[in-house]
Amino acid sequence: MDASLLNLSYLVASVCFILALQGLSSPKHARRGIIVGAIGMTVAVAATLGHPQIVTYSWIVPGLVIGSILGAIISRIPMTKMPERIAFSHAFGGLAAALVGVSEFYTHGGHLSVVTRTALGLEVFLGFLTFTGSLMAFGKLQGLITGAPITYKGQNVTNIGMFFGSLVMLIVFVIDPTKVELFYAMCVTGFLLGILAVLPIGGADMPVVISLLNSYAGLASAATGFALANNVLIIAGALDGTSGFLLSLMMSRAMNRSFANVLFGAFGTGDSTGETTTALPVGASVNQATIEDAVGVLQAAQSVIVIPGYGMAVSQAQHAVRDLATVLESKGATVKYAIHPVAGRMPGHMNVLLAEANVPYDQLFDLDDINDEFSRTDAVLVVGANDVVNPAAKKNPKSPIYGMPVFNVEQARSVLVLKRSMNPGFSGIDNELFFQPNTMMVLGDAKKTLLSMVQGVKQAD
C-alpha cells in the first residue's frame, strides 16, 4: 500500500479513537462511540497488512487468529473479575510494546538515530515495567499473592535507586550507541522494578495503581510511536496515557493521599491502628442485630440509601442488593445508591457491578451529589464498605485516613452494616460508625444476609 494512503488510514483511526472516548461522556452514546473506535482499529490494521515492508503472513495470521480467540474468551469473564481482567490486559499491552522495542533494536541496532534510541529505551523500560507490575497487581487481586503490602528494609531506596539507575543507563546508551548491553540492562531493570514497586502496595490502593499502570501502558505505546515515527501510535498512546494519569489523580484525591504516599507509603500495615483504637469511646459496644431486626428497620423506612463496597464484589451480592431494592420499592420506599470513587478495586468498579444487576444508572449517585441527603434518610444499608463510611476521616486528625472525603452516614436515622466479621477492614482501622447507637451490625456473608432480608421483607405483609 502507498505510504500516504497508509498514513491517511492512520488519521482516520486517530479520529475514530477520539470519537470513541468522546462518546463515553454519557452512557447514551457510549456504545456507538466504542463501535466507531473498533471500526477505526479495523481500518488501521487492514491498511497495515498492506504495508510495503511486510513480505510474509505466515507468522501474522496465526498471531491474529490466536489473539482474537483468546481475546473473545477473556471478554466473557464475570463482571466481578473485571479488575483482574483489566490488570491482565495492561500486562499484555506492556509486553507487546516492549517486544516490538526489542525486535526493532535487534534489527536496526547500530544505525538508529538519537531520537529513536531514546524512544526505544523508554519503550522497553516502561513496557517491561508495565508487564510485570500488572501481573503483580493481577496476582494480588486474584489472591495468588497476599493483598497486604509486602515491605522490607531499604525497599523505597532500592526502588528509587533502580528508577534513577535506568535513567542514567538510558542517557549513557543514547550518547554511546555501542553500549548495547545497557539497552538490555534497561529491559531487565524495568522487568524487576515492575515486580518490586507493586509489592508494597495494598489492596485498597489498587484503584490508583491500576490507573497508573494504564497510563504507563499508554506511554509505552506512545514511545513506540516515536521510535517507529508512527503518528497513530503517538496519538493513541497519549490518549491512553492521559486517561490513566487523570484517573489515578482522581483516585488519590478521593483518598486524600498524594501519589508518593500511595506508591511508597505501604498503607495498611497496621502501624497506626493503636492510635485510632484509643479514639473510640470508652466502653463502646457494638449493636449486633439479627436479620429480623434489620427487616424491621427496612420495613419502616421510606427512604433507603445503599452504600456498596469491595465486600459486595467479594460475596457477589450485587443481584441480591438489587432484589432487596426491588422489594423495598414495591412497598413504596425510594432506594438510591451512593458510590464512592474508590469503592472496590478499580475506578467505576461498583457502577459496573450494579449495572450488571440491572440497577438503572440514574439511581447511582456520586459522593458530592448525595452527601447532603443522609440527614433526611431513614435507613442506610452499608454492604461490604468500610473506610468510605468511617467518620474518623472527618473527625480524627490522628487517623491515617483523616481528610479523605467520606459519606455522612452517621447522620441517617438508622444504619445497617453488613459485614463478614468484626475484624477491622483492609486498612486495619477501627470504624467508630460500628459503635454508634443508631448502627446495627449484621454479620455474615452479605449475599446470604441480603437474600434472607428479601424473604423477610416479603413475608412481613
The torsion angles phi and psi of 200, rounded to 5 degrees, stand at -80, 5
Q: Which three cell numbers stand for residue 286?
A: 457494638
d(CA 275, CA 200): 22
387 is catalytic: yes
Q: 65 burial class (0-12, 13-18, 19+ CB within 10 angstroms)?
A: exposed
For residue 351, the minimal CB distance to other proteins (Å) is 5
For other proteins, the closer of residues 350 and 450 by Cβ is 350
Which residues lie closer than 8 Å to 379 by C-beta, 6 or more apart? Answer: 297, 298, 300, 301, 303, 304, 305, 412, 413, 414, 415, 416
For residue 151, the minimal CB distance to other proteins (Å) is 28
For residue 136, the minimal CB distance to other proteins (Å) is 17
What angle separates helix 82-108 from helix 180-198, to the nearest 10 degrees? 170
DSSP 3-state assignment of 151? coil
* Distance of alpha carbon 382 from the chain centroid: 21
For other proteins, the closer of residues 17 and 374 by Cβ is 17
For residue 252, the minimal CB distance to other proteins (Å) is 14
Q: Which three cell numbers stand for residue 275?
A: 492510635
For residue 193, the minimal CB distance to other proteins (Å) is 20
For residue 192, the minimal CB distance to other proteins (Å) is 20
For other proteins, the closer of residues 354 and 418 by Cβ is 354
Could you say which DSSP state residue 288 is in?
Answer: B
For other proteins, the closer of residues 364 and 446 by Cβ is 364
For residue 220, the minimal CB distance to other proteins (Å) is 8
Could you say which DSSP state residue 153 is in?
Answer: T
DSSP 3-state assignment of 199? coil
For other proteins, the closer of residues 211 and 449 by Cβ is 211
Q: Is residue 88 within 8 Å of 46, Cβ to Cβ? A: no
Could you say which DSSP state residue 460 is in?
Answer: T
For other proteins, the closer of residues 94 and 400 by Cβ is 94
Instruction: Give the 3-state secondary structure of 346-391.
Output: CCCHHHHHHHHCCCCHHHEEEHHHHCCCHHHCCEEEEECCCHHHCC
- Give the chain's length: 461
For residue 312, the minimal CB distance to other proteins (Å) is 15
For other proteins, the closer of residues 37 and 149 by Cβ is 37
For other proteins, the closer of residues 42 and 288 by Cβ is 42
d(CA 99, CA 235): 20
Which residues lie closer than 8 Å to 402 by C-beta, 6 or more apart? Answer: 256, 392, 393, 396
Catalytic residue among 205, 240, 323, 387: 387
Q: Is residue 102 within 8 Å of 187, Cβ to Cβ? A: yes
Residues forming the active site: 387
